[in-house]
Every structure is written in C-alpha cells, then in structure tokens.
C-alpha cells in the first residue's frame, strides 16, 4: 500500500506511514477515500468542501493542510471558499454553503439531522445519495483525523504552505 502511495504521489505521506501500523485501517481508509473521490457524484470542489468541513470540525491540522493544498492546486476551490472553510467563515456560494452546513450538522448531531435540515440541503440541489456520500466521507475522515491525532502526525513538506492551527 505504501509503494502504491509513493508511486501515485511521489512520496509516502506521514499519515500513511502511521496508518500502516493497522493495515486494515489503512486499507479501509484508502478504499473509502477512493470511492468517495470517484463515485460520490460530487465535483472536486464539493468533495473538498466536505473533507475540509470534517477535518476542521475534528481539528485535524494534518488533514486541513493536506486538503487545503489539494483544494487550491488540484480541485481549484475558489480562494474565498477555501478561506471560509479554513477560518469557519461564511461560504459565499449558497450551494457549497448548504453542503458544508449539512456536513457540519451530521457531525455535530451524530448523524441525526432534522427533516428541515435535510430539506434545506435538498432545496440546494442535492439528493438522498449525497447525504449518504457525506456519511462515507465522515467515516473515512474520522479514520484519518483520529489516527493523526493519536500520532501527532507531522505535516509533510508538500503541505507546509497550507499549515493550519485549530482555533483555541
């Protein structure tokens, strides 16, 4: 698994080097992450909104840095949206704001949104499947966020320009 990561990314991320201590955890993470990326129906920008919302909620400095770099350089998340995701500010795009809001609600309410919260999400243009895809992303990011907390994973040099500190 680490050789595959190195071939794809050019280096073995510190996160993977820690997660490999539990091959089942790393394998589950990689499978779920790949499925979210390829099969969720979300655009790359929407994917980063979900992943950054989760990582900020969980105060994962490693994933905030990594996904901020991916959001900026690869997924082309607008700068004002990325700034809002990093700071907890208002997302200027209504549809992306609804996506982040439901993601945050699912985290905060432990997967138990109200009908009104689900309806607001659907009125923004999303459907039932996207709710479940957010649940998948929460599961995957929980694996990475928590393992990074346990190991105090150092942010890789590739992500250092996007270092992030959790608000106090």
pLDDT tens digits along 84-108: 999 999 999 999 999 999 999 999 9
d(CA 49, CA 79): 12
Q: Look at the alpha carbons of 137, 139, 141, 144 in this order and tell me if their dihedral is positive or negative.
A: negative
Looking at residue 6, the DSSP 8-state letter turns out to be: H
2, pLDDT greater than 90: no
List of long-range contacts for 152-156, beta carbons under 8 Å, 24+ apart: 153/14, 153/15, 153/18, 153/62, 154/14, 154/62, 155/14, 155/61, 155/62, 155/65, 155/66, 156/11, 156/13, 156/14, 156/66
Residues 6+ apart with CB under 8 A from 83: 89
Please, what are the domains in the chain? 2-162 (1.20.1290.10)
Helix/strand/coil for 65: helix
Angle between helices 61-69 and 44-57 (to 10 degrees): 160
d(CA 58, CA 65): 13
pLDDT for res 99: 98
52, pLDDT greater than 80: yes
69, pLDDT greater than 80: yes
pLDDT for res 167: 86
Radius of gyration of the chain (CA): 15
- Give the pLDDT band of residue 11 (cuts 50, 70, 90): confident
Lowest mean pLDDT of 9-13, 72-76, 121-125, 128-132, name the range: 9-13
Q: How confident is the model over 103-156, as pLDDT tens digits?
A: 999 999 999 999 999 999 999 999 999 999 999 999 999 999 999 999 999 999
């Amino acid at each position: 698994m680490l050789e595959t990561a190195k071939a794809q990314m050019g280096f073995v991320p510190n996160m993977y080097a820690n997660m490999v201590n539990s091959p089942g955890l790393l394998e589950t993470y990689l499978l779920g992450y790949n499925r979210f990326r390829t099969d969720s129906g979300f655009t790359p920008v929407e994917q980063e909104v979900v992943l950054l919302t989760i990582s900020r909620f969980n105060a994962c400095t490693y994933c905030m840095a990594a996904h901020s770099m991916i959001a900026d350089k690869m997924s082309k998340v607008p700068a004002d949206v990325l700034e809002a995701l990093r700071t907890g500010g208002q997302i200027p795009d209504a549809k992306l704001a609804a996506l982040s809001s439901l993601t945050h609600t699912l985290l905060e309410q432990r997967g138990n949104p109200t009908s009104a919260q689900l309806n607001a999400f659907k009125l923004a243009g999303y459907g039932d499947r996207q709710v479940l895809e957010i649940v998948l992303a929460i599961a995957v990011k929980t694996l990475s966020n928590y393992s990074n907390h346990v190991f105090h994973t150092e942010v890789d040099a590739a992500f250092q320009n996007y270092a992030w500190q959790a608000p106090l």
